[in-house]
Copies of this chain bind each other. A is one copy, B any other.
Amino acid sequence: MLSQTHHSLEIYTDGEGFVDVTEYIAGWLKDIDAVDGLITIFIAHTSASLTIQENADPDVRHDLNGALRRIAPESSVYRHSLEGPDDMPAHIKSMLTSVSLSIPVREGRMKLGRWQGIYVIEHRTASHLRNLELHFLGTRQISAL
């Protein structure tokens, strides 16, 4: 029988960079005894975003961050500057990455590839508390219903 479950998750980011949230999300699927279905992850912000990227070599995240900086540099061309020089680049980087991700779930596990991790990308210089909304739709173990 299909059912759905929602969950809100708060993630603390330590300023600009990538925060691996894969285990938080996998843990929630285990908590709710998810079996088969679809999980959707949504980030309720416009200066932090989501991506699925390589989880093996930390240099990959370093270089991804460098690429985002080159694509959306701090600049005096922006009209929107009252929230600081890092705010407008943060909005651009958010627009170019993901606000929602949907991942199939089989036998309780997300069907991620071997090297895929789920990351919150903080685009602001300062630390922030970021809200993720999770939605699972699918089947759950009988004992859980």
Contact = CB atoms under 8 A, between A and B. Distances in A.
Interface of A: 2-4, 6, 8, 36-38, 40, 42, 44-47, 51-54, 57, 59-60, 62-64, 66-67, 71-72, 77-80, 82, 88, 91-92, 94-104, 106, 111-113, 115-116, 131, 133-135, 137-138
Contact of A96 (B80, B97, B116): B97
A40 B113 contact: no
A60 B44 contact: no
The 4 A-B residue pairs with the shortest CB-CB distance, nearest first, are: A44-B113, A59-B79, A59-B80, A104-B135
Question: What is the total number of copies of this protein in its complex?
Answer: 3
B63 A104 contact: no
Contacts of A53: 46, 91, 94-95
A94 B100 CA distance: 15
A80 B57 contact: yes
B102 A138 contact: no
A6 B64 CA distance: 32
Nearest to A72: B67
Given A100-B103, A116-B44, A4 B36 contact: yes
Given A45-B116, A100-B101, 16 more contacts: A4-B38, A8-B111, A38-B137, A45-B115, A46-B52, A46-B113, A53-B95, A59-B78, A59-B80, A63-B77, A63-B91, A64-B91, A67-B95, A100-B103, A102-B102, A102-B135
